[in-house]
Structure 1
Amino acid sequence: MNLNLRNAILHNVSGNSQDELKDTIVDAIQNGEEKMLPGLGVLFEVIWKNSSEEDKLEMLQTLESGLK
């Protein structure tokens, strides 16, 4: 079976409203299931690719602080 997981995830959330995207993210985090991690990774990839250098630096600082 040839499944492109990234494309499938993007297809599933494409066109979603901000509220729907938030619900997806919150549900994935609260659910805590390992199978949700690839989806969160793909969403983070979209955020990263569409962020300014300043926003990326802020995300990295937030991540660093959260991992301490």
Structure 2
Amino acid sequence: MDLNLRKAILSNIATNDQSQLEATIVDAIQSGEEKMLPGLGVLFELIWNQSDTAEKQEMIEALEQGVKNAVSE
């Protein structure tokens, strides 16, 4: 069986508008289910690839702070 998870995820969200995309992200995070992590990874990849250098640096800084906060909790 040749399952391309990335293509399947993109196909599932291809027609979503901004509010639907946001709802997908919020639901995935709030559910806390591990099975949602690949989908979030694909969404992050899309964001990363569409971002310029300054935006990427901002995301890295936010990620670093988030990791520090999560570890200290």
> Normalising to structure 2: TM-score of the pair?
0.91
Q: Does 1:52 align with 2:13?
A: no
User: Equivalents in 2 of 1:9, 1:61: separation in Å?
Assistant: 27
Task: Measure the CA separation in 2 of the matches of 1:44 and 1:14.
Answer: 15
Q: What's 1:24 paired with?
A: 24
- Supply the distance in 2 between the matched residues of 1:36 and 1:45 (Cα, whole angstroms): 15
Confirm whether residue 35 of structure 1 aligns to residue 35 of structure 2.
yes
Q: Does 1:4 align with 2:7?
A: no
Ranked by relative contact order (alpha carbons within 8 Å, sequence separation 6 or more), the top structure is: 1
% same residue: 63
Gaps of 5+ in 1: none
Separation in structure 2 between the aligned mates of residue 52 and residue 16 of structure 1, nearest angstrom: 23
In the alignment, does 2:67 pair up with 1:64? Answer: no
The letter for the 1-side match of 2:52 is S
What is the one-letter code of the residue matched to 2:8?
A: A
Q: Residue 67 of structure 1: SS of its match in structure 2?
A: helix
Question: Which TM-score applies when normalising by structure 1?
Answer: 0.97
